[in-house]
Every structure is written in structure tokens, then in C-alpha cells.
Structure 1
Amino acid sequence: MFSTFDLKEISKELADLERMRVDKIYQLGNEIRIKFFGRGREDLVIKPPLAVFVTSYPKPAPKNPTWFAMLLRKHLKAMWLFKIEQYDFDRILILSFGFYEEDNPVVKFVLIVEMFRDGNILLANQENMIVGILSREYMKDRTLAPKSIYVFPEKKKGFDLSIDEIIELSKEYEIVKGLATQLNIGGLYAEETCLLAGVDKSKIGISNEEAVKIKEALLQLENLKKDPMIIKKNDQVVDIIPYDLTSYNGPEYEKVRYESLSKALDEVYGKAESEEILREELSTHQKKIQKFERMLKSQKDLHNSYIEERELYKILGDLTYEKYPIIEESIKVIEQAKKNFSLEEIKTKLAENKLISDVDFKTGIITFNFGTPLPMELKKDVNENANLFYEKSKKMKRKIDGAKIAMDNTEAKLLALKEEEEEFEVEKPKAIEKKAREWYERFRWFTSSEGHVILGGRDSSSNEVIVKKYM
């Protein structure tokens, strides 16, 4: 969870975004991404309560924007970011947006990011009335909902505590808990204060001498030199911090330093999450390939079964003509016997005939045994039975052709999917290379055939800026 110290340092780094303009805004879960333009392109990620940073690893925008993203776009599109600051050393970040009116910046809306509890993002107007909020909250002393006036949380004690106040603080709580909650610095920095002071963190009721040491440690903590890093333990990320803290000096910890806190955060929440998205995309793609492979196998099995049936019907048709006399005579005998004998008596007599394996008078089928079972319809003559087999063989030919077309289509889709699979690079998502831009690239422009740069504003406000500032 983001601490007050994290927010203190990141707000300074994000000041580079000031005087840039809002281009696009989209939401992924509780994460808001704001794309800025003006001095190149920058993507700001707001991920309460975990992190705020500039990313070099863009994520694909959702197909359907959320209502909150649409609300932010409606009110902030093309606005200037005038100021980004931490509120009163609290876990609250304020981004002020507006337009220039007669060369003077006029704030129209503020985006307030709360980095405590579950985190929240809300948009308020000039009168501090909430226009939109990510998650409504109703508390005893505060209501966070549209059309309510935004009220900042009750202010915590500052670092200017007197020695007596520090002693008094430790009478109610363990000193580490008192520092963490009453100074709003969180458990990590409260423990760091105790380590720097050499005071037992679990002590209740500290001495005057210990209170002096705590006071000195707080001053030391307030003036720590920025040294952003990722802390790892057994190759797993355990923390992202802006300072080199004594709490992580143990041999079990690995410290990976970065030139800025934003880049350290981007390494974990930008790059690592992009890798995870790519893995999920690859997994989905592989499942699609497996689906088409199963489909192709079924189509091949069906195609082969059609070939076998076609050959079988051809064999039965040929066999019918080959055994024409026997079949014709047998059918005639059976039809004649029906006049003098019951069906059961006929079946009994036919059971002794080795060339006839079965007679079913209900279906009208007699099955001959010529090494291959040969079913004949008693109501049809030999020619009709033979033609029936040949017709079925022709139908199988048409089914074989259809199955072959389906197989070819599936194989083509499968090949395309496998070629796409090679394009996935899960290991190292590529960061966007940011190129230096000329001052005029923030406007609409082109180069004439004579080599002159032709400028035009994106709106009436930027037209006015061009005239007053550059002409």
C-alpha cells in the first residue's frame, strides 16, 4: 500500500506532467490510465491504493469504456494539467485541470486520489462538489457520493511533535503503533523510526531520553535522500520504496535500484502486469489452437469413415450383381412360401440355409452371407437393391468432398493461428521509446514545400496561445 512518503516523492516526479494536456482516459478494473500530450506522450497510471506512476508499457484499451472513464473523458478531455501535488503530507494526491483564460490558468476540475483503505478516485468541480466517483462511501464524518461536497479526512499529527507529545503518544499505544497511526506514516516507517532511534518498537510509556531519540529519528526520516528501489526476497518482490531503509538491510533482502520511484513502480505494476496479460493472451491463443486441432481430428475421422462407407456400398453393389441368380431365386422362393407357410415356419426353414444369415419380415430385410453380410429389401428386385447401394456410394462421395473442404478450411485457420503464436513475446514486453518533440508538435502542423512550418491550433484556446506566445 502506498505510504505518505511514497506519495511525497512520486508527486515531485509527476510534476513533469504539469502543463501537458489530457488526450484519452480509460479504466481497467480499479486502474485509471490518462494519456497526456504536449511535450511528447505520457501515460499516467492511477492504481489506488497501490501505486501512481508513469508507464512505458501500455495495456490494450477495453473495447467498451466504463461509465467512470466516460465521465472523466467528458469533463477532462483536452484540459491542461496545471498542478499535481500531495495534500498535507497525507495519502491523497490532487490533480488540478483546467484551461487558459487570457493567458491565466483557470482550474475547472480536480481529480482526487485517495491511497488509503481500498483506495478511491473522484472528480470534483471548482466548488469542491463531487461530480463523479469510482466507489461511493458513506461514513460518520464524510460522505463520498455525487453532488456531495468533498471533505478531506481529519488531519493527523505532524512531524513537529514536542517531546512531551511523543511521550504522551506512547502511553496509549506501543510506540510503533502510535507513530504509525497518529502520524499517518504507516507500519514500515514507524518501525524505521524506532530502528533509527534505537528504541524498542513494542514499548509502552517511553522515557524522556527515548522520546528525544524518536524526535531526532523523525527529523532524520523526513530528510532521507531519495534512493528508489525494489526490495526482493527469494526473487520475489516484497516492497517498492523511495529510500534506502534500515529495515531492509538484512542479508535475506536484495535491493534493485532505479533512477526514479516511477520507474521502479512501472517495473512491477507496468512491465510485470503487461507480461501477465501477454501470458493470458498466449494461453487463450493456445487454447484456441487446441480447439481447432481437436476439430481437425474429428473432421479427419469423419472423412475417413465416409471413404470406408463409400467403398463398402460399392462392394455391396458389385456383390449384388455377382450373386444375382442366387439372390433372385431366394427372393422368389420366399415370396412363394408366404402363400403356404407362416412367417415363423419360413424363418425356421431358412435357418438351415448357410447362405442366409437373417430374415426380418418386420423390416422386410433379408441378409445374405457371402463372406460379407449383404442386406436385401424383399420388396425390391435385385437391380433395385444394387442401384440402392450405388446411390449410397455416390452420396458418400459428396460427403467426402464436403468433409475435405471443411478440413482444408480448418487447416488454414490452424496454420494462421500457429503463425500468430510466434508473434507473442511473453518474456520482455517492449517499452515505448519516447522521442523528443519540437515545441510546435503540440499543435496541428505540417511542413510546406518551401520548408516552412505551418501551424494551426487544436481549438480556440490553442489558437489564442499561438497568436499571443509565438507571433
Structure 2
Amino acid sequence: MATNINNLKLIKKSISNIDIFVLSHELNAVLEDGFIQNIYEVPSKEGKILLIKCRSKDGKKNIIIDPKRRINFTEFTYPVPPFPSQFITSLRKYMKGRRIERVYQYKLDRILIFQLKSSEGKPWKFIVEFFGGGNYILVDGDDMTYMAKSYKKMRDRAILAKKPYLYPPSRGVDLWDINDDLFIDHLKESTGELVRIIARSFNVGGAFSEEICKRANIDKKSEVTNLSNDQMCLIYNTTKNMIESLQKSKFSPRLILNKENIPVGFEPIEMQLYSNFDSKKLESFNQVVDEFFSRFDSDEIFDGEVKESQGKLSKNEKILKKQLEKIDESKKIRERSITQGHLIYQYIPQIDTLINTIMTQKREKKRSWKEITNILKMGKEKQIPECLIFDKIFEKEVAVQIKLEENLFKLDLKKSAIDNAQIIYDRAKKAKKKIIGAKKASIDTKKKIERQKEVHEDVEARKAILLKRPKMKWYEKFRWFISSDNFLIVGGRDASSNEAIVKKHMSKNDLFFHTDVRGASVCIIKNDDNLNIPEQTIKETANFASCYSSAWKQGWGNADIFYVHPEQISKSPKSGEYLKKGSFIVNGTKNFLTKPFLEIGIGVKLISANDQNEEEADSTNENSSLNEEGEEKQFYPMVLAGPISALKLQTNNFVRIKPSKSGLKTSKLAKKILGKFIFKARPSEKKWVRLTSIDDLIRIIPTGSAEIAQK
């Protein structure tokens, strides 16, 4: 479940140097002699999160690295951009395909090193620095900086291209090689609080230092100079025991939980320091770190599209507000102008007389504006009609302000009353046009807002989250389906997997299927319980095997298919003949079946991602969206393929596809199928169905052009 890191009171926000020691130990145990398959950059604000895909003795492994916070194997599916940055392109050039000789920590510092075998000379190093904002440095066999994410000059060293890579000066004494005399002498030479001295002098970090004090039962704030020799010996022995425990790999990795059962910290060992907290123990420290940080990554990685959508919505809402304000303003101008125009027509004689009086005094008698104003005020006192409507003169504008029935407005002294009225009526007409234009624009803006609201709701609804891929069962490395009669059918993906299925997984009671064409998937019906295999399962397997053959790529409508028993399969060719990898000798009679029509179903099934079991999503139960801890259940969209008769028993969200030379290529077809899945999903399922992996779809669709078939 995604959690905002800023909304939690965390006791730990990044890995410590002790954590790096444990993580390096676990990483090396798996990755030693493995290979780097590829490197990706996970979208993030600073562009520093890397995803490294590796092949190890334990199978494929993904490593997530955020040099500001953590490194660990991850079981979550992280997004990667369609095109690599220049930095990633360069890293791939020099790291992709390289063997990993070992993974280790430099001393006890916050530095982790991937030592990579070089085709010539000394090994190269990929160095991750977990301090100063984090950095990645690729160092060649001569310890020269070949490339780095950030080049910089510092007080005690510099990271520059084609210059020697220098490790930062280590802080404190190296605890791995320390003895009691050196440790105690160092304490005796120090002054200050015990916990600070241990953390600073021996480079173990604040939490580990506090744990030492806790286990030694000595107040962490004790002044070092006040400690007795016995107390110093106790502190040394406590520290030594903790270090030896780590060196002997006596780990007890756990998440530290708050009262709401939400992880707020993590440690590689059980800490007395957090005895008041609950904890959740996991098998490895990598799993602990992975689960802890994945809770925060969803918001940080996927919030960008939501914020962009919200920004567009807010912008249109501001535009609408201004348009509505403009309509109100124009309405007021129009109403005021019409009122003024009507009043002028009611007082034309007085207005014309006032205008003529003012302009005669100005032009003919050459009086100043001040003199004219005084004359009019005197006329007002004498109750002269044209003077009664006078208010004041605007000299620069050559205008007069009059007051008619408590309404004040300006008139042009160079124009007659009727001309002034016409100007005011024209103003009303312009205001009306503006009202009409603004209303039309506001209608368009309202439509944009409604559309943007729908888009925003859609963006929020499909906001991706990090999902943990359920642990793969052995057969999921191959093509597979469950038949209508609940038999497992397993098929090869290529020559190597065809070979593996026959050598490692085919038993004496199984059935072996193959199309009578080159380039086909070997399929077996698993029958470990030696049951009678029903005709329906045989037909479904024949259909499945035919679809994953070259017949599909050729666009055929059907294909010859046969099955035999395991004892009829041999890898021993005749003398002088050579048998290609993934090919077999079939002895005896082949049981040919009616040519199956080439059509296969592709579907998606939601399984629980919280409990890693096959519990299906239930949209009919309001409480089904929460687990026992009150957290939102997560469902992983598993992509399935199989004959329609078998697939529809697994899921109701599927499409039929058939080969077609004029059909869509696999990648375009996968996107179209995903659109169908989302459209067919129930409202409560859409959020999860949208997370279906396009790569998984591409991987499961038979090779060759195809089209979605109508029922």
C-alpha cells in the first residue's frame, strides 16, 4: 500500500553503514559469478534511481538502487522509461553482460562496490556512494574514474573523468580490526556524551551506538570521562559481541511497526532500543528494505501524471472564473448604459442647454473652467433647470459629469445630448456582444472542465502503484494452462525450455504433444497421480500446442498434432546423425488428433498481492477491499493463456485471438487486448487490471501477426 513518507513519524529514513554491510553480504551471496543483464533508470525527480536486472545462480534478480536511501533486491515491478538517458546508455555499454565477481562494502563506510570481471586486465568497479546526495561512479581497471552520475570537487577529494578515483577519508576507527586496548584507549582520550563518542569515533551511527549503550545498561548521555575501567570494558565487550554477530551472519531482519501496524523503521538485527515497538521478521534483510521503501515509492514515482492533470484542471477552472466575472461585469455595464441612455433622452433640453452654456462660456467668452464651474454653481442656487443637473467638469477630458435621478455619468462636451446618448447605447451594445462571447467561451470552458474532470478521475483511477509479483511456481517459467479437468499442461518457449521440460519435468504417466511441423512448443500433460486423462484435456492440449507452433506464424487455420507416451521420446539419434537442442526422436506410433482450429484465449485474473495466494478479487463484498490489518488489499493482474474452454473457468475477462497475416503485430495487439481487459473489468477491478504488464501480454501471445476474433 502506498504511503506518503512525509505523513509518517519515521525512526529511520535510509540505510546505515551497518545496513550496507548486511545488504552487501546478502547481495554477494546471490550475485557472485552472476551477470548484469540490463540497467534502467526509474522515473524520479532527480533521476538517480536505478534498476539493475541480473542473472544469478538463484535465477533472475532485480536490484533497485536509490543512492540517497537504499539498495536491495526487489520483488516489485518498477516502471522504466521507453528510451534510456545518455547516462544509462553509457552504463549499458560498459556494464551490460559483465560477470559480477563480488559485491562488497568499502571498509565500514556508506560505499558499496560491484566488482565486475573485465575481458582484459584488472576488474572494473561500479561504485555506489550513499552519502552527499548519492552518486554512481564507474571505475576502470586502473582505478581511473571512467564516468560518474555527478562530477564534483570536494574539500578532501574530487570525482572527475579520467582522474584517479579516491575513496573519502574514513571516519573513526575501523571496528572490524579493533582490540580492547585500542577501543578503551580511544574512549579515555575522548570527552563528551558516550553515545556521541561511540557513533563518531567508531563510525557505527546513532541507532547502533544507542543499542550498545542499551545492552551495556549504561546511560547513553554519560560523560565518557566519568566512566570506570569496568564500564569501558563492558562497552567494548558489548560492541565486540554485536560486531562478531554481524560478521558471523547472525542476522534477524525485521520491520519496526508503529501502533497502526505500519512500518516506521527497519533493522538487520533485533534491537533492544525498539523493545516498545512491534516488529515483523522476514527471511532476509533485502526483503525488509524492499517492503519498507516500496510503501513510499508509489506516490513519489507515480504522482507526476496526477499532479499534471490536476494542474490542467485548475488552470481551466481559473479561466472559467475570469470568464464568469467578465460576464457579470459586462452585464452591469450594459444595464448602467441603457439606464443612462434612457435618462439622457428624458432630459435632452436641459442637457443640450447645459452643454451649450458651458461651451459658449469657454469658446466665446474665454472663461476658465473654474469660472464656468462657479457660474453653474450659482445657477444651481437659483434653481436654473440646466444648472441643477450639473455636478463637475473634467478639464483634460473636456467632459461634464451630470446627475440625473441619483445617477452620475460623464458626457462629452464636444457632442450633443443625442450623440452622447448614442455613444452610451453603443457601449451597451458592445457589452452585450462581450456577454454573448464570454458566455460562449464559458460554455466551451465548462465542457473542457468536465472532460478534464473525467480525464483526471481516470488518471487518479489508473494511477499506478508498485505491486509485488507473486512468487513464481516452477511451471510459470514455461507456457502453461490448467485444463477444464484440472490437469496442468506445460509447454516450452524455445529449444532450451523444450529440452528442460522433457529432461526435468516429464514423468512416466505424462503425455507428450508436438505438432508435425518444425518450430513448435513441446507440451506435456502432467499426470503425477496416474489418473485417466479425459478426452477434453487432450483436445485442449492439442489446441494449445498447435497455437504455439510455426503454424500460427504462417497464418494457418490448423495444424497436424500428435501425442505419445514418455517412453517413446529419446535424445539418442542414429549413428552419424545430429540432434539439435530441443529436438527429440519419437519412437513407435504417433497418436494423431483431429486438426485443431488455431484459436487461443488471452485473459487476466486478479490474485491477491498482499498474501501472495490465489484469492480472487470480490467486488460484491464491500469489506473485501481491506485485509485483516485494515489495509487496502492489493491484487496482481496475472496474464493467462489457454484454450477458451479451459480459460473461461479461470476468468471471465478474456479475448479470443487467431492468426492472421493481415493482423496486428504482437506489441500493438497486446495494447489492444489490454484496452479490452480494462473495458470489460468491473468498476472495482479496473484499478488493478490497468496495471497489467504489457510485457507479460507480449510474452504470452503466440509469435506472429494475429487479430482479436469475434465470438
Length-normalised TM-score, structure 2: 0.49
The answer to whether the aligner puts 1:357 opposite 2:357 as a matched pair is: no
8 Å CA contact 1:129–1:150 kept in 2: the answer is yes
Q: Hey, what's the Cα distance between the residues in 1 that align with 2:408 and 2:231?
A: 106
SS for the counterpart of 2:467 is: coil
Q: Hey, what's the Cα distance between the residues in 2 that align with 1:135 and 1:30?
A: 15
The answer to whether the aligner puts 1:242 opposite 2:275 as a matched pair is: no
Could you tell me which residue of structure 2 aligns to residue 124 of structure 1?
139
Could you tell me which residue of structure 2 aligns to residue 145 of structure 1?
160
8 Å CA contact 1:25–1:32 kept in 2: the answer is yes
Could you tell me which residue of structure 2 aligns to residue 384 of structure 1?
419
8 Å CA contact 1:112–1:124 kept in 2: the answer is yes
Could you tell me which residue of structure 1 aligns to residue 438 of structure 2?
403
- Residues 192-222 of structure 1: CA deviation (Å, up to 9, x unaligned): 5676678998656459996778766654443
- Residues 74-117 of structure 1: CA deviation (Å, up to 9, x unaligned): 544x4446345114764432224578x7xxx9997421124467
Which of 254, 266, 271 is the aligned partner of 1:229?
254
- Tell me: CA distance 1:206–1:176, structure 2 relative to 1, closer, same or farther (3 Å): farther
- Tell me: CA distance 1:212–1:302, structure 2 relative to 1, closer, same or farther (3 Å): closer
The answer to whether the aligner puts 1:452 opposite 2:549 as a matched pair is: yes
8 Å CA contact 1:53–1:265 kept in 2: the answer is yes
Could you tell me which residue of structure 2 aligns to residue 171 of structure 1?
185
The answer to whether the aligner puts 1:32 opposite 2:63 as a matched pair is: no
- Residues 91-147 of structure 1: CA deviation (Å, up to 9, x unaligned): 432224578x7xxx999742112446775431112333211233546677x765332
- Tell me: CA distance 1:294–1:218, structure 2 relative to 1, closer, same or farther (3 Å): closer
AA matched with 1:275: D
SS for the counterpart of 2:164 is: coil
Which of 72, 78, 82 is the aligned partner of 2:91?
72
Q: Hey, what's the Cα distance between the residues in 2 that align with 1:84 and 1:144?
A: 23
The offset of 1:7, in angstroms, is: 2.6
Q: Hey, what's the Cα distance between the residues in 1 that align with 2:252 and 2:142?
A: 38
Q: Hey, what's the Cα distance between the residues in 1 that align with 2:247 and 2:353?
A: 113
The offset of 1:337, in angstroms, is: 7.1
Could you tell me which residue of structure 2 aligns to residue 6 of structure 1?
19
Could you tell me which residue of structure 2 aligns to residue 95 of structure 1?
114
The answer to whether the aligner puts 1:46 opposite 2:66 as a matched pair is: yes
The offset of 1:336, in angstroms, is: 6.7
* Structure 2, unpaired ranges of 5+: 1-13, 189-193, 479-491, 497-518, 522-545, 552-579, 584-711
- Tell me: CA distance 1:23–1:316, structure 2 relative to 1, closer, same or farther (3 Å): same
Q: Hey, what's the Cα distance between the residues in 2 that align with 1:53 and 1:431?
A: 16
- Residues 224-264 of structure 1: CA deviation (Å, up to 9, x unaligned): 54332222567796642122234433x2x232334432333
AA matched with 1:310: R
- Tell me: CA distance 1:60–1:271, structure 2 relative to 1, closer, same or farther (3 Å): farther
8 Å CA contact 2:41–2:81 kept in 1: the answer is no
Q: Hey, what's the Cα distance between the residues in 1 that align with 2:267 and 2:238?
A: 24
Which of 307, 312, 316 is the aligned partner of 2:340?
316
8 Å CA contact 1:59–1:274 kept in 2: the answer is no
Matches within 5 A, 1:321-360: 321-328=345-352, 343=367, 344=371, 347-348=376-377, 350-351=379-380, 352-354=383-385, 356-358=389-391, 360=393
AA matched with 1:72: L
AA matched with 2:49: I
Could you tell me which residue of structure 2 aligns to residue 462 of structure 1?
none
Matches within 5 A, 1:198-277: 205=229, 218-223=243-248, 225-232=250-257, 239-249=265-275, 251=276, 253-275=277-299
The offset of 1:45, in angstroms, is: 1.6
The offset of 1:365, in angstroms, is: 3.7
- Tell me: CA distance 1:303–1:194, structure 2 relative to 1, closer, same or farther (3 Å): closer
AA matched with 1:126: G
- Residues 139-166 of structure 1: CA deviation (Å, up to 9, x unaligned): 77x76533233456799757576xxx32
Q: Hey, what's the Cα distance between the residues in 2 that align with 1:209 and 1:330?
A: 109
- Tell me: CA distance 1:106–1:44, structure 2 relative to 1, closer, same or farther (3 Å): farther
AA matched with 2:66: I
The answer to whether the aligner puts 1:431 opposite 2:456 as a matched pair is: no
- Residues 296-321 of structure 1: CA deviation (Å, up to 9, x unaligned): 33332221111121233233334444
Q: Hey, what's the Cα distance between the residues in 1 that align with 2:456 and 2:341?
A: 49
* Structure 1, unpaired ranges of 5+: 455-467
- Residues 27-72 of structure 1: CA deviation (Å, up to 9, x unaligned): 7548431353777784522325x4212453747869996x755653
8 Å CA contact 1:22–1:79 kept in 2: the answer is yes
Could you tell me which residue of structure 2 aligns to residue 304 of structure 1?
328
- Tell me: CA distance 1:118–1:400, structure 2 relative to 1, closer, same or farther (3 Å): closer
- Tell me: CA distance 1:94–1:329, structure 2 relative to 1, closer, same or farther (3 Å): closer
Could you tell me which residue of structure 2 aligns to residue 457 of structure 1?
none
Q: Hey, what's the Cα distance between the residues in 1 that align with 2:232 and 2:350?
A: 122
Q: Hey, what's the Cα distance between the residues in 1 that align with 2:469 and 2:351?
A: 84
Q: Hey, what's the Cα distance between the residues in 1 that align with 2:401 and 2:174?
A: 100
Q: Hey, what's the Cα distance between the residues in 2 that align with 1:333 and 1:286?
A: 63
8 Å CA contact 2:180–2:233 kept in 1: the answer is no
- Residues 370-427 of structure 1: CA deviation (Å, up to 9, x unaligned): 4244654343344433332222222222222332244334434444454455443799
RMSD after superposition: 5.2
SS for the counterpart of 2:341 is: helix
Q: Hey, what's the Cα distance between the residues in 1 that align with 2:239 and 2:377?
A: 111
Number of equivalenced pairs: 442
8 Å CA contact 1:84–1:96 kept in 2: the answer is yes
- Residues 352-379 of structure 1: CA deviation (Å, up to 9, x unaligned): 3345223638444455544244654343
- Tell me: CA distance 1:396–1:333, structure 2 relative to 1, closer, same or farther (3 Å): same
8 Å CA contact 1:167–1:208 kept in 2: the answer is no
SS for the counterpart of 2:326 is: helix
8 Å CA contact 2:338–2:428 kept in 1: the answer is yes
Deviates further, 254-263 or 114-123: 114-123
Deviates further, 31-40 or 56-65: 56-65
Length-normalised TM-score, structure 1: 0.69
Q: Hey, what's the Cα distance between the residues in 2 that align with 1:63 and 1:451?
A: 30
Percent identity, aligned pairs only, is 23
- Tell me: CA distance 1:90–1:390, structure 2 relative to 1, closer, same or farther (3 Å): same
Deviates further, 67-76 or 222-231: 67-76
